[in-house]
Amino acid sequence: MSERLSRIESLIGAEALERLGKLRVAIFGVGGVGSVCAESLVRSGVCHLTLVDSDCVVESNINRQLPAMIPTVGRAKVDVLAEHFADINPEAEIVPVQALYSMADRDRFNFANFDVVVDAIDSLAHKIDLLTTASEAGCQVFCSLGAAGKLDPTQVRTASIWETSGCPLGKLVRNGLRKRDFKGDFQAVYSLEKNIKTTDLGSAMPVTAAFGLALSSLVIRSVLPPEN
């Protein structure tokens, strides 16, 4: 165990930290939510991380996304993050995949290679397909619902996807899962805050980062022994 992980080992124990280090995690979408989740996991001891996102950095990302800085505009987000994470843990296996997950190309992703899938993508149809496909492949799935149009991180919550409330995207996802006859369950991150009404739905880092950190916490807690 390296000194850089000593504080989290003190918190969760050596056995849980070892399990975390062996966990194979894939994050689909590394924008404001997914990029923060990814960095938190790397700093917490995750050593096998696949990053999936088709986008390159644009200036409008700078207010909330970790890979977005003036010098990185135009570069692939996954490549920027992979370089950054190598500076945090040079021994970590970070696989950047510049691709868009969609129903048409799901077969390019071998979900048998992943223990955990974090969904942080926006497109509703592709989101539902990712959630069902990863779950049915036996992955432990964690989902981000709507983080846009909000400013209050204290209203961020986690719950079963079937028990989320107050989130319009959550309702759409549940309806989509029912249409797919999905019988499983997974934890989702959502907010009780009502969307701020604007002509263009904006996003702010206090909330998107809170979503990302909540997702990473779910992943970390998944390796802890069950409570008595």
Tens digits of residue pLDDT in 38-62? 999 999 999 999 999 999 999 999 9
Q: Is the dihedral of CA 12, 16, 18, 19 positive or negative?
A: negative
Token output for 74 = 């135009």
Q: How confident is the model at residue 9 (pLDDT cuts 50, 70, 90)?
A: very high
> How many alpha carbons lie under 13 Å from residue 106 in its C-beta half-sphere?
16
User: Residue 226: which pLDDT band, with cuts at 50, 70 and 90?
Assistant: confident
Q: What is the DSSP string of 45-110?
A: T--EEEEE--PBP-GGGTTT-TT--GGGTTSBHHHHHHHHHHHH-TTSEEEEE-----GGGGGGS-
Q: What is the pLDDT of residues 81-124, one digit of tens each?
A: 999 999 999 999 999 999 999 988 899 999 999 999 999 999 99
Q: What is the pLDDT of residues 14-32, one digit of tens each?
A: 999 999 999 999 999 999 9
pLDDT tens track for 133-146: 999 999 999 999 99
Q: Is pLDDT of 227 > 80?
A: no
Entry pTM: 0.95
Q: How confident is the model at residue 1 (pLDDT cuts 50, 70, 90)?
A: low
Question: Does residue 207 carry a pLDDT above 80?
Answer: yes
| Mean pLDDT of all residues in 196-202 | 79
pLDDT given for residue 228 in this prediction: 40
Two structure tokens written together for 177: 């899962």
Q: Is a pLDDT exceeding 60 seen at residue 13?
A: yes
